[in-house]
Structure 1
């Protein structure tokens, strides 16, 4: 692919490049990776040079994983780009079997996007290069709290995607710049597809953090109570893997157009995540007309208000999920009101404003007019301990 660049008006008159360091080869979509790709695409559309560096393995990986790493790497570089990837040709994608720092020039920007890629930066810092750490979640189940806290303190500049992460990271390091996540209002919208009145949709993922097993248990309880409904799902794991015995139309890693149509066909979307940085699928489902039932993971409160724009439940409580679903299945007017309110609360989170802030944080912004100043006001966030029963109706 051909990389395009432009002079950014720096005092030296040099072209600057943004390098994203990404763990994994990008073959399976997830919210964090999609945000990285969306940032890269939109920076490139504004004339910046952007390069994505995908790493299959890291020096700290165990040797027994090497054969699998090599196989994944060879499969990825031979395959066509996944259907969900939507990048212009000006964004260059590099594949590295073993993680290593890219060759960079002074004034280049390096953005670590995962704790392992940040450790790569720590070991290879170069004078004159600006380093950033994009933090999209508090992934203690992967790296451990002490390790993450140390990285936040050591990072040159922490970029966070939500206000609750900003508070958390600033509390540890005193260093955090808020770059709110956003959603594509033009793409994710109601398409006129027939909405099924009693259809429940969820994202079924292998990661235990996503709570798919809790949703499956809730659906079984809902069925046992005599409630009639249909189930649809998408993701990397069929719900039957978690013990679902009911009929379910599952879509394995579909592209974004299919996901949009699935949102548009459902009356309810449920997320049972134990931890979320922001809640991307909830935002997308909102714009496509779904009413929401969500866990009290911190990121879900970034743009949703309990009882006003979504019904919430305490993490890990399948019976609570079943109660919320049954209550809303029987009340289409309430579902419509929740969706209208959620759309209103989500309206400030545009990509134009998010990328304005990203350019400023990276130090590559042209002079911005006051009319482009972001106005992300967000929503009130009650302490997590108080949230479990908010929006509890009936």
Structure 2
């Protein structure tokens, strides 16, 4: 049985989908008697920082070291057997001594190259095509570092293999204990839509807001439940914002909504789309590669071109105006999403770690 260290790209005081995936694996490994560590750096790639960036990293290190707020425990219930570490950088001498190391982002994959202790095994959990701070060439090169690559979605597996590296596919699971349907399809508020709010451009919120504005013009009774981590933006009175909702509120948002809107330009997986399906919302979303893992147009969702607010609005209005189609889409999504379990995902992950 192996000991495992997960290398994170930054501290984790706020909810992040990719961190949630890592924590699910960490908890399950700890529950099956593996020694598990999670490491958060103040700077994952210090060699790429300007002098101003290095000053900010030093200040970040002092802040998190003094406050202890680097942990995910404020929003995710970690198993008591998972040990967390906060370090200046991911230099080898700062890492716990374990038999397996799992890079969870391109920054951590680059840092892990420097660690050459005998007998260790290196894995790379690939959750997106992370070309936000790195060039496409640098991202593709990271797949060829010689680690055991694990992709969370089929489109990422194809991308890694096209780059010339082998890759295992392990779809993410969903927490069917945390999220569940409590409001029947027929009792949902026909004109209520839910959407994630995020400040990153690639989440597509400006297209989502424009789509909702178009819908509101045609359907004045429209109500929107918005949720997210950032502070609330300026919103009209028909949009209610829930910042970092607790479990009960999160379930209520999804369950009250007849429709979930996913406007992202790109996703590695599309966690919120699956969560909405679990809770019986009919999904309207963009045709990005992450959503495609679960959103099948006309079957489990209504899908629109990426960046097309008018098309998203048209599909929302279509479901508002046709209860039978909305219920058909919602039921099909609810059935389909149940194939993605953490039990199945963890069984594959543990086999790789312990092989």
2:254, 2:279 within 8 Å by CA — same for their partners in 1?
A: yes
Larger mean CA deviation between 202-211 and 123-132 belongs to: 123-132
| Deviations 1:30-53 (CA, angstroms, capped at 9, x unpaired) | 211111111111121222111100
How far apart, in 1, do the equivalents of 2:306 and 2:12 lie? 29
Structure 2 residue 214 is matched with structure 1 residue 228: no
How far apart, in 2, do the equivalents of 1:195 and 1:75 lie? 47
| Structure 2 counterpart of 1:33, from 19, 31, 35 | 19
Structure 2 residue 292 is matched with structure 1 residue 306: no
1:220, 1:246 within 8 Å by CA — same for their partners in 2?
A: no
Report what 1:17 is aligned to: 3
Normalised by the size of structure 2, how large is the TM-score?
Answer: 0.91
Deviation, 1:28, is: 1.3
Deviation, 1:159, is: 0.7
Deviation, 1:291, is: 0.5
How far apart, in 2, do the equivalents of 1:116 and 1:80 lie? 19
Structure 2 residue 53 is matched with structure 1 residue 62: no
Q: Secondary structure at the match of 1:232?
A: strand
How far apart, in 1, do the equivalents of 2:121 and 2:249 lie? 39
Where in structure 2 are the equivalents of 1:1-394 lying within 5 Å? Answer: 8=1, 16-58=2-44, 59=46, 60-65=48-53, 66-67=55-56, 68-70=59-61, 72-74=63-65, 76-77=67-68, 82-101=73-92, 102-105=94-97, 108-192=99-183, 195-237=188-230, 240=233, 244-363=235-354
The alignment of Structure 1 onto Structure 2 pairs a total of residues equal to 347
Deviation, 1:192, is: 4.5
Report what 1:392 is aligned to: none
How far apart, in 1, do the equivalents of 2:251 and 2:21 lie? 17
Normalised by the size of structure 1, how large is the TM-score?
Answer: 0.82
Larger mean CA deviation between 199-208 and 338-347 belongs to: 338-347
| Deviations 1:53-100 (CA, angstroms, capped at 9, x unpaired) | 011213123332334523652465158855421111111111123333
1:73, 1:97 within 8 Å by CA — same for their partners in 2?
A: no
How far apart, in 2, do the equivalents of 1:339 and 1:228 lie? 21
Distance 1:80 1:279, change over 3 A: closer
| Deviations 1:255-281 (CA, angstroms, capped at 9, x unpaired) | 344222211111111111111111111
Report what 1:383 is aligned to: none
Distance 1:79 1:57, change over 3 A: closer
Distance 1:211 1:103, change over 3 A: closer
